[in-house]
Amino acid sequence: MNFVHIADMHFDAPFSVLNQHDLGNQRRLDQREVFHKIIEYIKQNEIDYFFVCGDLYEHEYVRQSTIEYINNGFKEIPNTKIYIVPGNHDPKIKNSYYAKFNWNENVFIFDTEIQKISEEDVDIYGYGFDNFYMKNTKIKEIKTENPDKINILLTHGSMDGGADELREYNPMKEQELKQLEFDYIALGHIHKPYFNKEQNQKIIYPGSTIALGFDELGSHGMIVGNIDETKKLEIAFVPVDKKEFKEISLEVDNILSKEELIETINAQNWSESSYYKIILTGKRNFEIEPLEILKYVTIKNIIKIKDQTTLKIDLEKVAKEESLKGIFVRNLLQQKTPENEAQILKAIEIGLEAM
């Protein structure tokens, strides 16, 4: 049996940061293009199963026209069996499209209770969200019934999450998942791909299908897998998002003015297939206001500028001056310890800029 596994598409996400640059609608078109690409891949490669592991759409923002678009895509692959587990952004609640929409006949949507669907070659288990939070996992309740068949588990949630907020989204432990007798565990919720095909790892996060922001750098796409009659698992990550979010560092030590910085940024060879955050580093010779700089940058897909520079100044020299600046710097340097050095230097920088 072969399959495609995706998660976290987040159809109709607001893309609030991109909207500030009139790029939100373009990213929503990118979502459609990527989904069409996945459907075409399934069609061309005669994929048996399509696993969608949560957050297919944004419950708060999704339009019925988008649901129709998704379902029309499913209609294009009638010989592929589609299994969906609702996530925390698209829970199966009373007024959700999972509950009220008439999905194509090849689509099965799991409930919050554990369900098992028996196919000729595989037993597929799954459960999803019926609310925006799920603090208690159902992993310990699952037992495979036929070890001779291929057994697959689908769910959405956080694995080994340390932060309290992650414990609110079907919290699971990897060690517990490893002890389950599944040949493949298809997960969603974590937006970075997580798998190790060299170790024949069976617990897989495909990551978000398209990148949603600067906390999701790198390639995004889908998992394509095959499990043969001996239960040998083969998987591959296939990138499908043609655009990436990238962070680029730019040193400003030798840049002498705001105008020169803007010219330097505009003169770089930026790719149209990426969204950029520029991180300014080094010692600056002038005051930098990132939003003011961004206003005059002509490259549309530069989304953010972050200032991590420090003021170019010889503090020891200033401290020897018989002036208000000298007294200010001397007093603060006398309070400096290894523990508070960063805070003291920042305070000196702010004070000198104010003067």
Q: Which of 204, 219, 239 lies at the terminal end of a domain, its last residue?
A: 239
Model confidence at 21: pLDDT above 80 = no
Are both 225 and 298 inside the same structural domain?
no
Cβ atoms of 309 and 283 within 8 Å: the answer is yes
Are both 261 and 197 inside the same structural domain?
no
d(CA 280, CA 298): 17
Are both 219 and 311 inside the same structural domain?
no
For 70-103, write each residue's pLDDT tens digit.
Answer: 999 999 999 999 999 999 999 999 999 999 999 9
Are both 231 and 334 inside the same structural domain?
no
Q: How confident is the model at residue 164 (pLDDT cuts 50, 70, 90)?
A: low
Are both 186 and 316 inside the same structural domain?
no
Q: How confident is the model at residue 36 (pLDDT cuts 50, 70, 90)?
A: very high
Domain that holds residue 35: 2-239
Q: Please tell me the total count of domains within the chain.
A: 2
Are both 140 and 210 inside the same structural domain?
yes
For 307-354, write each residue's pLDDT tens digit.
Answer: 999 878 778 888 888 899 888 889 988 998 988 887 888 888 788 777
pLDDT, mean over the chain: 92
Question: Which residue intervals of the chain are DSSP H helices?
Answer: 16-19, 24-44, 64-75, 97-100, 174-179, 258-267, 290-296, 315-319, 324-334, 341-354
For 192-207, write each residue's pLDDT tens digit.
Answer: 999 876 666 899 999 9
Model confidence at 146: pLDDT above 60 = yes
Are both 84 and 225 inside the same structural domain?
yes
Q: Which of 239, 270, 301 lies at the terminal end of a domain, its last residue?
A: 239
What pLDDT shows up at residue 24?
A: 85
Are both 9 and 24 inside the same structural domain?
yes
Are both 43 and 151 inside the same structural domain?
yes
